[in-house]
Structure 1
Amino acid sequence: MLSKYLLLTSLICTPLAANEIVFTSTKIQIDGIAESSWDQAKWHNMSHLIQGEKPSSDDFSGRYKVLWDNQYLYLQAELVDDVLIDKIADPLDRYWDDDALEIFIDSDASGGNHQFNHTAMAYHIALDNQAIDIAEDKSPRDFNDHLISQWKRSSTEPNHIIWEVAIRLYPNDFTDAKPLPAIPLVAGQKIGFMLAYCDNDGSDIREHFVGSHAIKPVNGDKNRGWIDAGVFGQYTLKNQ
Structure 2
Amino acid sequence: MKRTFIFLCIVTLTICCKKETKTNTKDVIAVLQEDSTIPQQRKKDHQLREVKKAVIAPNMDGSMDDPIWKETKWYAIDQLWIGDQPTLKDYFGRYKISWTPDALYILVEIKDDIISNSYKDPLVQWWDNDCVEIFIDADNSGGEHQFNNNAFAYHVALDGNVVDLDVNQQPILHNSHVITKRTTKGDVSIWEFEVSVFDDTYEEGKTNDPLVLTKNQKIGFAIAYNDNDQSKERENFMGSVFVPGEDKNQGWINADIFGTILLVE
TM-score (norm 1): 0.88
Post-superposition shift, 1:37? 2.4
Partner of residue 87, structure 1:
118
Which structure 1 residue ranges, 4+ long, deviate > 4 Å from structure 2?
Answer: none
Question: Given that residues 116 and 130 in structure 2 are in contact (C-alpha distance below 8 angstroms), is that contact kept between their aligned partners in structure 1?
Answer: yes
Matches within 5 A, 1:59-78: 59-78=90-109
Partner of residue 39, structure 1:
70
Distance across 2 between alignment mates of 1:150 and 1:113? 30
Structure 1 residue identity aligned to 2:227: D
User: Secondary structure of 1:37's partner?
Assistant: helix
User: Secondary structure of 1:119's partner?
Assistant: coil
Question: Given that residues 70 and 184 in structure 1 are in contact (C-alpha distance below 8 angstroms), is that contact kept between their aligned partners in structure 2?
Answer: yes
Question: Given that residues 48 and 259 in structure 2 are in contact (C-alpha distance below 8 angstroms), is that contact kept between their aligned partners in structure 1?
Answer: no
Alignment coverage as a number of residue pairs: 218
Post-superposition shift, 1:89? 1.0
Structure 1 residue identity aligned to 2:210: A
Partner of residue 242, structure 2:
214
Distance across 2 between alignment mates of 1:91 and 1:114? 21
Post-superposition shift, 1:42? 1.2
Percent identity, please: 38
Partner of residue 105, structure 1:
136
Distance across 2 between alignment mates of 1:78 and 1:18? 21
Partner of residue 201, structure 1:
229
Choose which of 26, 44, 51 in structure 2 pairs with 1:21: 51
What is the root-mean-square deviation in Å for CA atoms of aligned residues?
1.2
Is 1:153 equivalent to 2:181 in the alignment? no
Choose which of 106, 116, 120 in structure 1 pairs with 2:151: 120
Post-superposition shift, 1:179? 4.5
Structure 2 residue identity aligned to 1:130: N
More helix by share: 2
Structure 2 residue identity aligned to 1:129: G
Post-superposition shift, 1:87? 1.2
Distance across 1 between alignment mates of 2:256 and 2:80? 18
User: Secondary structure of 2:51's partner?
Assistant: strand
Distance across 1 between alignment mates of 2:190 and 2:205? 35
Partner of residue 224, structure 1:
250
Which has more radius of gyration? 2
Structure 2 residue identity aligned to 1:32: G
Question: Given that residues 117 and 175 in structure 1 are in contact (C-alpha distance below 8 angstroms), is that contact kept between their aligned partners in structure 2?
Answer: no
Choose which of 108, 133, 152 in structure 1 pairs with 2:164: 133
Is 1:174 equivalent to 2:205 in the alignment? no
Distance across 1 between alignment mates of 2:232 and 2:207? 35
Partner of residue 51, structure 1:
82
Distance across 1 between alignment mates of 2:223 and 2:161? 16
The 3 A distance-change label for structure 1 pair 115 and 18 is: closer
Name stretches of at least 5 consecutive residues in structure 2 with no aligned partner. Answer: 1-46
User: Secondary structure of 2:256's partner?
Assistant: helix
Distance across 2 between alignment mates of 1:107 and 1:52? 29
Distance across 2 between alignment mates of 1:147 and 1:100? 13
